[in-house]
Amino acid sequence: MLALIIRRLALGLVTVWLVSVIIFLGVEALPGDACTAILERDAHGEALAKCREVMGLNTPALTRYLDWSGGILTGDFGLSANGQERIAELVGYRLRNSLLLAAGALGVGIPLAIFLGVIAGLWRDRWPDILFSTGAIFAMTIPEFVAATILILIFAIWLGWVPAIVLTPADAPPLEFFPEFILASTVLTMLMIAHVMRMVRASMIEVMAGDYVQMATLKGVPYWRIVFRHALPNALLPAINVIALTVAWLLGGVVVVEVVFNYPGLGRLLVDAISDRDLPVVQAITMIVAITYVGVNLVADILSLALNPRLRSHQERGA
Amino acid sequence: MSTTTPAPRSLRILEILRAMMARPSGAIGLTLVAFHLALAVLSPWIVPFDYMAMDATITLAGPSPAHWLGTDHLGRDVLTRVMLGGREALLVTGTATPVALIWGGLLGVYLGLKGGWRDEIAMRLVDAFLALPGILPLLVLITVFGSGGEVLMPTLAFFFGIPVIRVARAAAHEVVARDFVSAARARGHRPLDIVRRELLPNVTDTLLVEGAMRWSWMLLGFSALSFLGFGVSPPKPDWGLMISDARVYMSLAPLGVIAPVIALSTLIIGINLSADALAKTLGLDHSRKAVI
Amino acid sequence: MAGPPPLIDIRKLCVGFRGRAGAMLPVLHEVDLTVCRGESIGIVGESGSGKSTLALAAMGYLKHGLQKISGDVIYDGAEMFARRPAELARIRGGQLGLIPQNSGQALTPTMRIGTQIREALHLHCALPEGEHATRARDLLAQVRLPDPESILRRYPHELSGGQQQRVAIAMALAGEPDALLLDEPTTGLDVTTQAHILDLLRDLAQSRNMAMVYVSHDLGVIARVCDRVQVLYAGETVLEGPTRAVLHDPAHPYARGLLASIPRLGEKTLPRALDGRPPGPGEPREGCTFAPRCALATEDCRAATPPMLAGGADQMSRCLYPERVNEITGDQAGTQPHGCPEDSPCALDLAGLSIRYDRPGLFERLRGAARPPATVDGIDLHLRQGETIGLVGESGSGKSTILKAISGLLPPASGQITLGDGTALPLTVESRRPDQLRRIQMIFQNPDDSLNPRQSVAEILAQPLRLYFGLTDSALRARTVELLDTVRLGAPYLDRRPGQLSGGEKQRVAVARAFAAGPEIVLCDEITSALDVSVQAAVLDLLNELKAAHKTAFVFVSHDLTVVRALSDRVAVLYQGRICEFGPAAVVYGSPSHPYTSVLLNAVLTPDPDHAPRLMADDVTELAPPAHGCPFQRRCPVKCGTICDTDTPPAQQAGDGHVIRCHIPLAELRAKQTG
C-alpha cells in the first residue's frame, strides 16, 4: 500500500518536473525575452544589454532554469516582467479566488452529478435518462463564453439582478464579488455535472448488468438496497480516477469563464499576462495550474487505492 | 447466431450512417452538421451583403426587411456575417481534427503494442502536456506567431492529438491482451503489420467516436480563442469574435449576440448528437472514459 | 404418483426475446418441470439449450431482454411471475436459494464475506440479530471452510474459486431453503475441487431434505447428484427420466449421441461427434427438432413435433422410436487414435526449461529479498515426429506457460529448446527466423479470442500463407479453400467473419490457420475447453485425422484427463510447474502412479451413477510452489515424511519410459493404489 502511494507520488513529481522543463524550454524557444517585452522599441544596443544583465538573462539557460525551479520550490516565483511586482504577491489573492470558484463548482457539482448519473443509469433509455442525458449534451456543448453571455443577458441585462460589468480588485473580500462568483460557478458547475454525470451513468449501467447485482436480486435483497449497497460503491470506485481527470481538465478551462465574468482569478491574470507578454507571470501561473492538476489526480489515485479492496490487496501481494 | 451478411468497408460506412439516421439524436445531429457544412461551402454566393460593407447610418439596428437580423456596431449586416462566420472555424478544425486523430491514434496504438520504456517515457510526457491548462499553449503560440490558419491548424492538431494518444493506447491495450494478437506475434509478423492488420481495425470504432467528440471540443476551443481576441482577426467574420464584439451592445441589439450564439451552438450540438449516435450505433456508449 | 403437491411446478413455459426484426424469438418451448420436496433433478443441455433460463425462471427471474410468453411457474401454489416484489424478495434467497455459476463474479466485490452472509441472514433468518455472527460462522463451517472467522473478514477476491463457491452455498443456506437452484456451480473449477463441492452438496441435500435443481452441461456431474434428469435440446425437453436409466439406456437419440461424445478414462477410442448443430432461436423448426441430426429420422419425424412418449425404464422421450435408440450406436465403433512408432525421429527437445513470471522491482532488488521459486522448473521433454504429448494438471500447474515458452511468447529464464534437426531455437519470437517460426504453430483455448473479429475467414487464413510462403491472388485463394476443406468447412466460409460462426466452426478455422503454415509441431492450449462436448469430439477427431495425414507432432495441454487420454501417446502430469509423472498414456493412467496422478484420476467424474469419485486430497489452491522438496508435499495424502519437504524426489523408472518422481518406492505406490 505504502509502496504504491510512494510510487504514485514519485510519478507525480516526475510529471511536475517535466511540466517545468516544457514550460521553460517553451518560453526559451519563443523569439524575444522579458527585456524585449519591457523595452519594446528601445530593445537594442546598450539598453538591451544592460537590462539583460540586471535581469540575469545573460547567464546560461541551465543556470536560469535551476534558479527558477529552485525558486518555485521555496514558493518564490520571482518578479514580473516589468520588474516591479513579486509574482507570489500578484498571484496570492487570485489563487484564493480561483480555488474558491473551483470549490464552489465541485461542492455542488459532484454530488448532484452522481445523483443525476445514478438516476439516469437506473432508468436507462426512459424519460429521466433521456432528459438528463440530452441536458448534459447541451451543457457540454454550449461554449462557456456562450453560456456566460446568455446568463449575463438574462440576469444582468433583462432582469437587472446583478451588475453586468464590474471590476473588483483581486484582494477584495469574497463577498464583494459574490454576483460574479455565482454566475461563474454556475457555468462551471453545469459543465462539471454534464461530464461527470455521463460517466456515472455509464458506470452504473455496467454495474447493474453485473452478475453480483443479479445474485443480490435472487438473494432477495430489496431494490434500493441493491442500488446503494451493492451497485453504487462498485460504480463509483473505478470512476474516481476518471472523475478526477475530468475535473482537473475542467479546472484548466476556468480561464475563459473568468475572463467572461471579469472574475478576479488566476485565469484572467493569465490572459492579461499573455497580452502583456509578461512571460514570468505566464510561467508561474502555468506551473501552479499544472501542480494542481497533478495533485488532484494524485489524491484520486490514493483515494481509490484506499477505498477499493481489490486494488489494495493487489498491492499487498506485489510488495 | 447473427446472420447479417458481411459488408465491404465502403458499404459499412453507409450502413453506419443509416443506423445513425434511425436514431433521433443521429437524425437531428447529422442534419445539423450537413446544414452547416453546406452553408459553409455555399455562403459566399448566397449572402445578401458584402460582409465588410459598413453603413454608419444604421449601426446596431434591429431587424428590418433589408437586414433580417439587424446590423452590428459598425452597421454591417448581421445575417451575412453569421452565414460566413463558421467558414474559418470549420476549415481549420475540419483539417486539424483528422490530423490530430491520425497522429495521436497511430502513436497511441503503437505504444500500446510495444510497451516498455518507450511507452513509459511517452506517457510521462503526455501527462505533462495534459497538466498544462488547456488553452495556454495555444494562447502563447498565437501571441507570438499570429493567428492565421497556418499557425492555428498545426497547433490545434498537435495539442488535440495528445489526449488521443491516451485513448488510443488504452483501446490498443485491450486488443493486445487478446489471443489473436499473441497468435500474430507467435507467427512472427512485424510490429507494424500487427498494428495495421490486427490492432487498427479493432480500435477504429473507438477512434471514430473519439474524433467526433474531439472535433466539437476543438470547435469550442477555436471559438473561445476568437472570443478572447486571439483567434480570427477582424474584419473577418467569426462567431466567437462576433459574440465578443456584440456583447458590449447586448442591451441595445441582443440579436447581434443571439444570432451567432445560435449558429455556433447548433453546429456543436449537431456534432455532439452525431457522436453520441455514432457511439450508440457502434455499441461504445456504455464504457467509462474520461474526456482526456 | 400420489402424494403432496410438487414444490416447483412449471407448466408449458415459453420464454423468448424480441429480435431485431421485432418478432418474438423463443428460447424455451413449452417446457415442463416438476420438482418435489427432497428431490434432486438435473437439467442437462449444451450451450443455447435454455437450461439456465429455465432454472432462473423457477425463481420468477428472467435475464434482461427475456420475456415470458406463456405458461405457468407455480411455486408453493401460486404463480411466481404474478407475485409482488416484496413477496418475491421473501421467497428468493429464503425458500428458494440460488448457487450461481461463477461465484467470483456473483459476490459483491466491495463487501466483506461476513457482511454479505449477514445480509442474507438479516433478510431471511428468524434468529435475533445478535445471533447472526455465530450463525454465519456455523454456516461457513457447514460448507467445510477452514477458519471461518478469518474468511468472514475477507473480500471475495481474496478467496480461491472453490472457497467462493462454498461461500455462495453458505449464503443460500442462510435462508433455510426448501429448494436449491444450481446453475453450473462447479464449471470452471478443478476436478478435485469439483468433486469436493459435489460431495458437499449431496450431503447437504440429504441431511436437510432439500430439493435441488441442478443445471449442467456435464452428465458426469449430474450422475453424482441427481435422482432424475431432464434433457433439453434447443429449448425443448426431449427426454426425462431416472438418472440411471437415462445414462445407461437413454430413450432419445440426442441423449445417446451426447453420451457417446463424452471421452472416458477407460476407453482407448476417440469419442464420437454429433454432426450438425441445433437450430437457434427463431430458426424454422418443423417436426422433431433433432431430426436433421438423427440417424433414425423418418418422414413422420419431420412432419410434426413428436409428443412425449413413454420409453423404457420410466423415461418420457420426445421421440417416435424410443425403442430403436439402441440401434444407433452398435454399428459405428469409435475411431482409434493414431499412434506413433517409438523409433520416430525427434521433433522437439526441451531441456531444463525454467520459467519465471516475477520480475523483481527496484525495491525488492535493493532489499535483496530472496526470489520465489520459478513458476515452471526442470522441464525435460522429448517430442517425436508425429507424436502427441499430453500435458495435464490443475489450474496453476504451468501447463499453458510451457506452451508459451516453446512458442517464444514468454522467454524462459533458462533451458534449451532444440528442433528435430538439432538447431537450438532462440528463446524469443523476435530473434527466431521465419522458417523456425513456421515449424511451430499454436492453437489457443478460446477461438472467440484468437480470431480477429474484424477479419474474414479468408483474411485470417491468408496471414500465415502470405508470411511464410508469399502466396498471392489465385494461389492464395486456392490454398485457403483447400485448408477449409481439410477442416471440413469449405469455400462458402471464406467471406464469413468469426461472429457468424459457431464455436466449433471457429475452432476449426483456428486449426486450419495453424496448419496453413505446414508446421512440424502444433501446440494446443486447452483447445476444446470452451466447446460443448459434442463439438469437442468433432475437433478431437479432426486433430487425429490431421495428425495422421501430416505426421505432425502435438503438445496437447488440457485440464481434462479424459480428453488427454483420448488423444495422447505420452502424458506428462504437472503440479506447480514441475513434472510429477511422465510416460505412455496407457501406463500413466494405470498403476503405479504418482500420488498426485492418483488424486486426479480418482476425482474424475463419469456419466455413471454407480461410479463415485474418491476424494483423496484437500482441494487447497496453492499460489506458489514450495521452495524445496516435492512440489506436491502440502497436499499429498500419502506423504512419507520430512524428506518430502526437503529433498527433490528422485525420478523412478517404472519401465517403458515411465517416470514417477516420488520418494515412495514403486512397489509401495502400487500396493497403495490397489489396496
What pLDDT score does A281 carry? 83
Other C-beta atoms within 10 Å of C14: how many?
Answer: 17
pTM: 0.84
Interchain pair A143, B220: CB under 8 A: yes
Domain ranges of chain A: 2-73, 95-318
Q: Is residue B125, in this structure, part of any structural domain at all?
A: yes
Grouping H, G, I as helix, E, B as strand and the rest as coil, residue C71 is strand
Share of chain B above pLDDT 90, in %: 16
Q: Neighbouring chains of A at 3+ CB pairs within 8 Å?
A: B, C
What pLDDT score does B290 carry? 45
How sure is the predictor about A81, in pLDDT bands with cuts at 50, 70 and 90?
low
CATH number at residue C414: 3.40.50.300
What pLDDT score does C556 carry? 93
Burial code of C76-88, b = ≥16 C-beta within 10 A, e = fewer? eeeebeebeeeeb
Q: Is residue C282, in this structure, part of any structural domain at all?
A: no
Query: Which positions in chain B touch A277 (Cβ < 8 Å)?
Result: 143
How sure is the predictor about C327, in pLDDT bands with cuts at 50, 70 and 90?
confident
Beta bridge partners of C309: C317
pLDDT digit string (tens) for C112-136? Answer: 999 999 999 999 888 888 888 899 9
- Phi-psi sector, B132: left (phi>0), alpha (psi -120 to 50), beta: beta
What pLDDT score does C390 carry? 93
CA–CA gap between residue C278 and residue C288 (Å, rounded): 11
pLDDT of A317 > 70? The answer is no
CA–CA gap between residue A29 and residue A164 (Å, rounded): 40
Is C111 touching A (CB cutoff 8 A)?
yes
Beta bridge partners of C66: C17
Q: Is residue C140, in this structure, part of any structural domain at all?
A: no
Mean pLDDT calculated for residue range C350-361: 80
Q: How far is CA C240 from CA C7, C44, C73, C294, C348, in A?
A: 18, 10, 19, 18, 50
pLDDT of C406 > 90? The answer is yes
Interchain pair A293, B269: CB under 8 A: no
What pLDDT score does A242 carry? 75
Interchain pair C513, B183: CB under 8 A: yes
Interchain pair B197, C495: CB under 8 A: no
Partner residue facing A249 (CB), from B134, B220, B244: B134
What pLDDT score does B7 carry? 46
CATH number at residue B116: 1.10.3720.10
Is C155 touching A (CB cutoff 8 A)?
yes
CA–CA gap between residue B271 and residue B223 (Å, rounded): 15
Q: Is residue B7, in this structure, part of any structural domain at all?
A: no
Interchain pair C495, B6: CB under 8 A: yes
What pLDDT score does A151 carry? 81
Burial zone of A75 (CB within 10 Å; 0-12 exposed, 13-18 middle, 19+ buried): exposed
Locate C61 and state its grid cell.
427471474
Interchain pair A141, B220: CB under 8 A: yes
Query: Which positions in chain A touch B264 (Cβ < 8 Å)?
Result: 143, 146
Interchain pair A237, C63: CB under 8 A: no
pLDDT digit string (tens) for C140-156? Answer: 988 888 888 888 999 99
Q: Is residue B194, in this structure, part of any structural domain at all?
A: yes
Q: Is residue B115, in this structure, part of any structural domain at all?
A: yes
CA–CA gap between residue C661 and residue C313 (Å, rounded): 48
Domain count for chain C: 1
Query: Which positions in chain A touch C90 (Cβ < 8 Å)?
Result: 220
Q: Neighbouring chains of C at 3+ CB pairs within 8 Å?
A: A, B
Is C513 touching B (CB cutoff 8 A)?
yes
DSSP H stretches of helix in chain A: 2-29, 34-39, 45-55, 61-73, 87-122, 127-141, 144-151, 178-208, 211-218, 223-225, 232-236, 239-252, 254-261, 266-275, 279-307, 309-318
CA–CA gap between residue C501 and residue B6 (Å, rounded): 12
Residue B223's domain comprises: 23-282
Query: Which positions in chain C touch B3 (Cβ < 8 Å)?
Result: 500
What pLDDT score does A188 carry? 85
Q: Is residue C94, in this structure, part of any structural domain at all?
A: no
Residue C654's domain comprises: 346-674
CA C446 to chain centre: 12
Partner residue facing A140 (CB), from B125, B243, B272: B272
Q: How far is CA C271 from CA C190, C263, C297, C460, C606, in A?
A: 22, 5, 22, 29, 14
pLDDT of C606 > 90? The answer is no
Report for A146-155, A185-194, B142-151, C471-480: range of highest mean pLDDT: C471-480
Locate C322 and state its grid cell.
424410443
Check residue B57 and report its DSSP letter. Answer: G
Best mutation target among C108, C123, C169 (most A Cβ atoms within 10 Å) is C108
Q: Is residue C392, in this structure, part of any structural domain at all?
A: yes
pLDDT digit string (tens) for C629-654? Answer: 888 888 888 888 788 888 888 888 88
What pLDDT score does C333 carry? 53
Locate B24 and state its grid cell.
433521433
What pLDDT score does B183 carry? 93
Report for A155-164, B146-155, B218-227: range of highest mean pLDDT: B218-227
pLDDT of A319 > 50? The answer is no
What pLDDT score does B6 carry? 43
Best mutation target among B167, B258, B291 (most A Cβ atoms within 10 Å) is B291
Q: Which residue has the higher pLDDT, B170 or A47?
A: B170
Partner residue facing B188 (CB), from C280, C467, C500: C467
Domain count for chain B: 1
Interchain pair A141, B268: CB under 8 A: yes
Interchain pair C107, A218: CB under 8 A: no
pLDDT of A171 > 50? The answer is yes
Closest CA to C166 of C147, C188, C141, C187: C141
What pLDDT score does C653 carry? 87
Q: Which residue has the higher pLDDT, C10 or A173?
A: C10
pLDDT digit string (tens) for B56-74? Answer: 777 777 777 777 777 777 7
User: Is beta strand C78-79 parallel, antiparallel or unpaired with respect to C96-99?
Assistant: unpaired
CA–CA gap between residue B190 and residue B177 (Å, rounded): 17
Window from A242-246, B170-174, B205-209, C597-601 with minimum mean pLDDT: A242-246
Q: Is residue C618, in this structure, part of any structural domain at all?
A: yes
pLDDT of A77 > 60? The answer is yes
How sure is the predictor about A231, in pLDDT bands with cuts at 50, 70 and 90?
very high
What ipTM was assigned to the predicted interfaces of this complex?
Answer: 0.83
Q: Is residue C266, in this structure, part of any structural domain at all?
A: no
pLDDT of C618 > 80? The answer is no
Whole-number average pLDDT of chain B: 82
DSSP H stretches of helix in C517-584: 533-550, 561-567
CA B148 to chain centre: 18
Long-range own/partner contacts, residues B114-120 (CB < 8 A, 24 or more apart)? B114/B191, B119/B169
The alpha-carbon gap from C580 to the nearest alpha carbon of chain B, in Å, equals 29
Q: Is residue B262, in this structure, part of any structural domain at all?
A: yes
Beta bridge partners of C228: C41, C242
Window from A6-15, A245-254, B148-157, C448-457 with minimum mean pLDDT: A245-254
- Spatial CB neighbours of C449, under 8 Å, sequence gap ≥ 6: B178, B179, B180
Is C454 touching B (CB cutoff 8 A)?
yes
pLDDT of B33 > 70? The answer is yes
Interchain pair A220, C92: CB under 8 A: yes
pLDDT of C456 > 50? The answer is yes
Phi, psi of C99, rounded to the nearest 5 degrees: -120, 115
DSSP H stretches of helix in C1-131: 51-57, 85-91, 103-106, 113-124
What pLDDT score does B181 carry? 93
What pLDDT score does C467 carry? 92
Interchain pair B178, C434: CB under 8 A: no
Mean pLDDT calculated for residue range A156-168: 71
Closest CA to C255 of C301, C184, C316, C303: C316
> Residue C551 corresponds to which amino acid?
K
How sure is the predictor about C573, in pLDDT bands with cuts at 50, 70 and 90?
very high
pLDDT of A82 > 70? The answer is no
Phi, psi of C367, rounded to the nearest 5 degrees: -75, -20
Mean pLDDT calculated for residue range B133-160: 80
Q: Is residue B16, in this structure, part of any structural domain at all?
A: no
pLDDT digit string (tens) for C169-182? Answer: 999 988 889 999 99
Q: Is the peptide bond before B154 cis (omega within 30 degrees of 0)?
A: no
The alpha-carbon gap from A180 to the nearest alpha carbon of chain B, in Å, equals 16
Mean pLDDT calculated for residue range B209-227: 86
> Residue B34 corresponds to which amino acid?
A
Q: Is residue B29, in this structure, part of any structural domain at all?
A: yes
Share of chain C above pLDDT 90, in %: 22
Q: Please give the CATH architecture assigned to the domain spanning A95-318.
A: Orthogonal Bundle (1.10)
Q: Which residue of chain A comes nearest to C623, CA vs CA?
A: A317
Instruction: Dump the DSSP string for C578-590.
Output: EEEEEEEHHHHTS
Interchain pair A220, C89: CB under 8 A: yes
pLDDT digit string (tens) for B260-278? Answer: 888 888 898 899 888 888 8
CA–CA gap between residue C59 and residue C81 (Å, rounded): 9
Mean pLDDT calculated for residue range C427-442: 90
Other C-beta atoms within 10 Å of C490: how many?
Answer: 10
